[in-house]
Structure 1
Amino acid sequence: MNSTVLKFALPALAAFAISTSSAAAVEQSCRFIQAKAEREACYKRQEDELAAKRKPVAPANDGQALDTLRQMRQDDDAVYRSINNICRGC
């Protein structure tokens, strides 16, 4: 049982190490550029790439989301009406 875990964990760990080292290598490469303008351009490109990756994805179907929100609001209103008739501290 233990050897099967190692068979799967070792390749996953190696893939993780490779992926993080390549990302770190991209970040480190700008630091070694001697010309200030080129170095700043490199940092700007990296910043733009990160911003593009972090950009939120717009929902594909807004109509369905609005219908879901309306239904949730109606359900909430029904619960609030039923709770309103409960005697608290009588």
Structure 2
Amino acid sequence: MNSITVRSCFAALIALALSAAPAAALEQNCRFIQAKPGREACYKRQEEELAVKRKPAPATDESKALETLRQLRQDDDAVYRSINNICRGC
């Protein structure tokens, strides 16, 4: 590998590490804000961000859910049939 590729990979790795900061680190940043209105605004922003992340997934179509369940049952039946063929006489 040439040095430019290594440098770009290293830069990408650093950017990824910085962007994946845990939520706890964000909370600690708010703790160190001295002004009460600023600290409360920081906590409110964090609360809103967490609420957006915790939103439940939209409800799926019932027919799609039934089709998925049907497919899972077919897969289970195939596995059980193959197990019965392997363990015959166990």
The normalised TM-score by structure 2 is: 0.52
Runs of 5+ consecutive residues of structure 2 not aligned to the other structure: none
Aligned length: 86
- % same residue: 50
Superimposed CA distance per residue, residues 41-76 of structure 1 (whole angstroms, 9 cap, x where no aligned partner): 531331221231243533665533420221221342
Structure 1 spans left out of the alignment, 5+ residues: none
Displacement of 1:20 in angstroms is 5.8
- Structure label with greater radius of gyration: 1
| CA spacing shift, 1:11–1:61, aligned 2, 3 Å | farther
Q: State the match for 1:74 in structure 2.
A: 74
Q: Does 1:28 align with 2:36?
A: no
Determine if contact 2:31/2:39 at 8 Å carries over to the other structure.
yes
What SS does structure 2 have at the residue aligned with 1:9? helix
* Counterpart in the other structure of 2:46: 46
Alignment check: 8 A CA contact 2:30 2:43 kept? no
Instruction: Report the residue type matching 2:33 in the other structure.
Output: F
Q: Secondary structure at the match of 2:35?
A: coil
Higher RCO structure, 1 or 2 (CA under 8 Å, sep 6+): 2
Question: Which AA in structure 2 matches 1:28?
Answer: N
Q: What is the root-mean-square deviation in Å for CA atoms of aligned residues?
A: 3.9
Change (3 A) 1:67 1:6: same
Runs of 4+ in structure 1 deviating by more than 4 angstroms, as ranges, are 23-27, 59-62
What are the superposed Cα offsets for residues 2-45 of structure 1, whole Å, 9 maximum, x if unpaired? 41432321331453365468x8578524531432x653453133
* TM-score, length basis structure 1: 0.52
